[in-house]
Amino acid sequence: MGKLETADLRAVTTAALNGLSSDQVGALASDAVGSLTTGQVASLGTAQIKGLTTGDMVALTSAQVAAINSTQAGSLSTAQIAALETGDVKSLTTGALRNLSSDQLDAFTSDQLRALSSGQVNSLTTSQINTLGTADLNSLTSGQFANLSSGQVQALTNTQLANLATDNLNALGTSQFASLSSSQFGALTTGQLGKLETADLRAVTTAALNGLSSDQVGSLASDAVGSLTTAQVASLGTAQIKGLTTGDMVALTSGQVAALNSTQAGSLSTAQLAAIETADVKSLTTGALRNLSSDQLDAFTSDQLRALSSGQINSLTTAQVNTLGTADLNSLTSGQFANLSSGQVQALTNTQLSNLATDNLNALGTAQFAAMSSSQFGALTTSQLGKLETADLRAVTTASLNGLSSDQVGALASDAVGSLTTTQVASLGTAQIKGLTTGDMVALTSGQVAALNSTQVTGLSTAQIAAIETADIKSLTTGALRNRRRSLRSRRPTSSR
């Protein structure tokens, strides 16, 4: 058998060829085997196939390899498979390939695996894909990986994925990444995640993204984080949110910041909040802002606070307003202050009010001043009171006005005193009356002078009385004048007899 001429062997019928034992086939010269017709090769039974030596396998032509059917392929030994020439491997039919066992597939050399066409690789069953070793998978080219079907990608185990070379992982397309399960995506290492392409990360399902730990999220490149869809951002759990680096927070777009919900916002660290770009802070929803703690609000920089819209400021809870520090409050613009609600103004502490910058205090409107309690208005410093606008002072309740000391009343600008309503003037107590300066008395209108009651007039000093303008003195009520005269008589010393 070993000395048969090639022409003679080619002339043998397929039936006659099938009568040979495996040993007889093994005795054939390799060049003779390499001369068999494709019809003869296709007719070989499993017994004859098993008789082919590794030398015979090397001698097979690409056409002969293409003639091997699925049954024949399934009977090949690992040694026979490994002996196929690299250039001939790509001639194996998809049917033959699909019938190979995991051991047979594992027998392919790296060069043989790389020689397979994308179509051949794409034909492998999910079971075959599932059993490929790490070395085998990483032997495949990026082009071969790019042609894996979604089903094949879904068949990859967590271990296989965790050991994929970066080039092969990144060769997967968006549809393939979209097919990864939460468990699969969560199996990727921080090294792999750090090199993911932005388009691939955007393709990942929200469920898969939620499979990442905080460390894994932290390993993502900031530009990749900045490419996430708003739906992906909105789906992140607190564990994922906590994994975002300050660089990631800087990379977030205004649309992504707007997608943060109240729970997510509440889980942000002070460092993360401070890292949000000033232009993006104004995209935070009112719901997100209202869920921030006092420490979180305090983490905002002056520029960030000034960037908040009036609507955002107006949405803060009274509890949040109540805990804002002096620096934070004075970081706000006059426009932001002007939009505080009456409830928010009422939530301000005496300390907060007494430390307000003049511009911010004067930015408050009449409704806001009217909302102040006696304690709040009484907490204002003489410097602040001296710069109050007349309209704001007129809006203050009589109870609040009565919370001022004589020194505080004395600090009011005379034109502001001259703007008080007659009701406000009539409500002033003895302490407040004594605080009026001679300049204030000059500024009083005839209507205000007429509003002074007998007790108030009695409490006026001679200097205050003397300062009332001549045209206004006639507005004093007769009751006030009589009480003043009686008071003066009672204070005169009695002459001794």
Residue type at position 483: N
Q: Is the residue at 75 inside a domain?
A: yes
The answer to whether 147 and 121 are in contact (CB under 8 A) is: yes
Please give the distance of CA 253 from its chain centroid, rounded to a whole number. 9
Query: 3-class secondary structure for 256-309?
Result: HHHHCCHHHHHHCCHHHHHHCCHHHHCCCCHHHHHCCCHHHHHHCCHHHHHHCC
Q: Is the residue at 330 inside a domain?
A: no
The answer to whether 248 and 276 are in contact (CB under 8 A) is: no
Residue 461 and residue 433: Cα distance in Å, rounded? Answer: 9
Q: Is the residue at 365 inside a domain?
A: no
User: Average pLDDT of 18-43?
Assistant: 91
Question: Which of these, 333, 403, 329, 392, lies nearest to 362 by C-alpha position?
Answer: 392
Cα dist from 51 to 46, 60, 107, 346, whole Å: 9, 14, 18, 97
Residue 478 confidence (pLDDT): 86
The pLDDT of residue 488 is above 90:
no
Tokens 């400021």 locate to 313
Q: State pLDDT tens for residues 289-348.
A: 999 999 999 999 999 999 999 999 999 999 999 999 999 999 999 999 999 999 999 999
> What residues contact 46, with CB distance under 8 A and at least 6 apart?
71, 72, 75
Q: Is the residue at 5 inside a domain?
A: yes
Residue 111 and residue 114: Cα distance in Å, rounded? Answer: 5
Locate all alpha helices (DSSP H) within 309-357, ordered by sequence: 310-315, 318-323, 326-331, 334-338, 342-347, 350-354
What pTM, to 2 d.p., does this model score? 0.82
Q: Is the residue at 105 inside a domain?
A: yes
The answer to whether 152 and 175 are in contact (CB under 8 A) is: no
C-beta atoms surrounding 343 within 10 Å: 11
Q: State pLDDT tens for residues 3-25.
A: 777 787 888 888 988 888 899 98
Residue 204 sits in the same domain as residue 146: yes
Q: Is the residue at 345 inside a domain?
A: no
Backbone angles phi, psi at 260, to 5 degrees: -70, 125
pLDDT band for position 1 (50/70/90)? Answer: low
The answer to whether 101 and 74 are in contact (CB under 8 A) is: yes
Residue 16 sits in the same domain as residue 110: yes
Residue 197 confidence (pLDDT): 95
C-beta atoms surrounding 376 within 10 Å: 21
Q: Is the residue at 3 inside a domain?
A: yes
The string of DSSP letters for 154-195 reads: HHS-HHHHHT--HHHHHHS-HHHHHT--HHHHHTS-HHHHTT
pLDDT band for position 484 (50/70/90)? Answer: low
Q: Which of 189, 215, 243 is the last residue of a domain?
A: 243
Residue 61 sits in the same domain as residue 99: yes
pLDDT band for position 497 (50/70/90)? Answer: very low
Q: Which of 211, 227, 243 is the last residue of a domain?
A: 243
Average pLDDT score, the chain: 93
Q: State pLDDT tens for residues 340-375.
A: 999 999 999 999 999 999 999 999 999 999 999 999
Residue 9 confidence (pLDDT): 85
Residue 208 sits in the same domain as residue 160: yes
The pLDDT of residue 493 is above 70:
no
Residue 474 and residue 466: Cα distance in Å, rounded? Answer: 13
Residue 94 sits in the same domain as residue 159: no
Q: Which of 243, 275, 294 is the last residue of a domain?
A: 243
Residue 11 sits in the same domain as residue 108: yes
Residue 161 sits in the same domain as residue 60: no
Q: How many domains does the chain have?
A: 3
Polymer length of the chain? 497
Residue 271 confidence (pLDDT): 98
Which long-range contacts does 460-467 make (Cβ < 8 Å, 24+ apart)? 460/433, 460/484, 461/434, 463/438, 464/436, 464/438, 465/441, 466/438, 467/438, 467/439, 467/441, 467/442
Residue 297 and residue 28: Cα distance in Å, rounded? Answer: 86
The pLDDT of residue 260 is above 60:
yes
Residue 9 sits in the same domain as residue 97: yes
Residue 167 sits in the same domain as residue 98: no
C-beta atoms surrounding 425 within 10 Å: 24
User: Average pLDDT of 82-86?
Assistant: 96
pLDDT band for position 485 (50/70/90)? Answer: low
Residue 446 and residue 414: Cα distance in Å, rounded? Answer: 15
Residue 495 confidence (pLDDT): 44
Residue span of the structural domain in which 467 resides: 399-492
Residue 80 sits in the same domain as residue 185: no
| DSSP type of residue 328 | H
Residue 11 sits in the same domain as residue 104: yes
Residue 11 confidence (pLDDT): 85
Q: Is the residue at 328 inside a domain?
A: no
Q: State pLDDT tens for residues 91-134.
A: 999 999 999 999 999 999 999 999 999 999 999 999 999 999 99
Residue 27 and residue 3: Cα distance in Å, rounded? Answer: 9
User: Average pLDDT of 149-156?
Assistant: 96
Residue 18 confidence (pLDDT): 86
Residue 99 sits in the same domain as residue 168: no
Which range, of 1-10, 216-225, 421-430, averages the lowest pLDDT? Answer: 1-10
Residue 198 and residue 443: Cα distance in Å, rounded? Answer: 71
- 126-140 residues labelled b (16+ CB within 10 A) or e (exposed): eebbebbeeebbbbb
Residue 373 and residue 371: Cα distance in Å, rounded? Answer: 7
